[in-house]
Amino acid sequence: MNALIFQRLSSLQSPVFSCRRVIIDSILVDKPKGVRIFMKKIILTGDRPTGRLHIGHYVGSLSERVKLQNTGAFDEIYFMIADAQALTDNADNPEKVRQNIMQVALDYLAVGIDPSKATIFIQSQVPALAELTVYYMNLVTVSRVQRNPTVKAEIQQKNFEASVPVGFFCYPISQAADITAFHATSVPVGEDQEPMLEQCREIVHKFNEVYGETLTMPEIYLSKNAARLRLPGLDGKAKMSKSLGNCIYLADDEKTVQQKVMSMYTDPTHLKVSDPGHIEGNTVFTYLDAFIKPDSFEKYWPEYKNLDELKAHYQRGGLGDVKIKKFLNKVLQEELRPIRERRAYWEERLPEVYEILKEGSAKAAAKAQQTLDEVKASMRIDYFTNDNLLK
């Protein structure tokens, strides 16, 4: 089947500049002349190897990926360890990035990413991504990147001010290359990535408009649970983030998790147990919203039927933070225990993990090269294919 037809059709499916919060429901789409053909469903997403992964990654993206992976509804799945992107703000510390590649791979396998169903690869080992980035750069203005709220916030957070590296500034464009190189239709990420997807969709639209239909229009895939979109840090800061050191890591042992939970930010006005407490901005409750399971109360705190009852009691007063933290700790430990066990299993098998990364990177490189060839053909810079320069 002709890949270009898929892409043309997918770009017709939705308004160009809006990011729908859904995945494409059907793999059947209408061809303009009324003939129905199959459109491939492809996932691409990734993480920067700037540290081990944490429970923010887990709720925002990893657990959703594993769910999608196990539906069997996708034709191809790619998970990228974004070392080239990590270097854009860690150029002076490549060793940190190098060390964390294996850590991220272990976290992937620990949460249940299955290399027989998904391709795990390392970004820098896929050279076509850098080349695509160069061509896409011509389709984006400096002021457009400057308006990207995530880039703005990160420049401030990293104290870059006037010294922002060009590579860092352009990372949304390189991210568009990552997504489009695999003709991804679904990108499961946390909410901070929404502006990146928006930017990517604009690049796809522009490219297809200027050079002819070539690239596939991706859709963002966000968790339906609001607390999972942007999990706050232990300190109550806007986002749990490796770079801010306010994290519970997937690799933390049981005792460390417990200590971190007991030290969490709650409601600064809730001084005595009898004081009425606030739920909004109270990190302990946000984590409960993100992690609670239908049977959690029955198992660990049968005095309450559900989270609404617990919240109401806290708001009335008479409920201490320590009790809630102990409950949260039990809920979290239940979720993290199997992840920890799988991590220990793979830590004993590093040569196998190495092979998974090597094979995945080779597979990804071949796929991205195909897309680069299509892109160059559309731009008519495939000079030496079939003597094109002579035509």
Residues 210-239, one symbol each (x = binds ligand ATP by CB under 6 A, - = not), give: --------------------xx-------x
* 190 interacts with ligand ATP by CB under 6 A: yes
| Residue 196 CB-density burial (10 A; 0-12 exposed, 13-18 middle, 19+ buried) | buried
Does 189 help bind ligand ATP (rule: CB under 6 A)? yes
Residue 192 in the binding site for ligand ATP (CB under 6 A): yes
Q: How far is the CB of 243 from ligand ATP (least distance, A)?
A: 3
CA dist list (Å): 294 to 96, 168, 300, 335: 40, 42, 12, 13
Contact pick of 240, 288, 332, 353 for ligand ATP (by CB under 6 A): 240
Token digits of residue 387:
């003597």
Q: How far is the CB of 368 from ligand ATP (least distance, A)?
A: 20
Q: Does 241 bind ligand ATP (CB under 6 A)?
A: yes
Residues 38-57, mask of contacts with ligand ATP (x by CB under 6 A): ---------xx-x-----xx
Q: Which residue is nearest to ligand ATP (CB)?
A: 60
168 within 8 A of 88, measured Cβ to Cβ: yes
**At closest approach, how far in Å is the CB of 298 from ligand ATP?**
28
Footprint of ligand ATP on 55-94 (CB under 6 A): 56-57, 59-61
Taking the complex as a whole, the smallest distance from the CB of residue 188 to ligand ATP amounts, in Å, to: 7
Specify the residue for token string 């997403």.
Answer: 45
Cα separation, 290 vs 268, in Å, equals 21
One DSSP character per residue, 145-205 reads HHT-HHHHHHHHHTT-GGG--HHHHTHHHHHHHHHHHTT-SEEE--GGGHHHHHHHHHHHH
Stretch that binds ligand ATP, among 71-79, 166-174, 186-194, 280-288 (CB under 6 A): 186-194
Q: Does position 243 bind ligand ATP by CB under 6 A?
A: yes
Q: What crossing angle do the helices spanning 283-291 and 321-347 adopt, rounded to 10°?
A: 50
Single residue of 65, 242, 260, 343 touching ligand ATP by CB under 6 A: 242
- What number of chain residues touch ligand ATP (CB under 6 A)? 19
| In the block, residue with structure tokens 């070392």 | 83
DSSP state of 28: E
CB of 167 to ligand ATP, least distance (A): 14
Instruction: Provide the angle, in degrees to the nearest 10, between the axes of the packed helices 350-379 and 321-347.
Output: 90
Interface positions, 292-321, toward ligand ATP (CB under 6 A): none
- Minimal distance in Å, beta carbon 71 to ligand ATP? 19
Q: SS3 of 344, please?
A: helix
The residue range among 5-13, 27-35, 108-116, 190-198 that interacts with ligand ATP, by the rule CB under 6 A, is 190-198
Distance (Å, rounded) from C-alpha 341 to C-alpha 187? 28
Helix (H), strand (E), coil (C) string for 354-385: HHHHHHHHHHHHHHHHHHHHHHHHHHCCCCCH
Query: What is the Cα–Cα distance from 204 to 209, expressed in whole angstroms?
Result: 8
Nearer to ligand ATP, 60 or 218 (CB): 60
* Of 234, 237, 333, 249, nearest in space to 287 by CA: 234
Q: Rounded to the nearest whole angstrom, what is the least distance from the CB of residue 110 to ligand ATP in the complex?
A: 15
Q: At its nearest, how many Å lie between ligand ATP and the CB of residue 242?
A: 4
Smallest gap from residue 208 Cβ to ligand ATP (A)? 25
User: Residues interacting with ligand ATP, by CB under 6 A?
Assistant: 47-48, 50, 56-57, 59-61, 189-190, 192-193, 230-231, 239-243
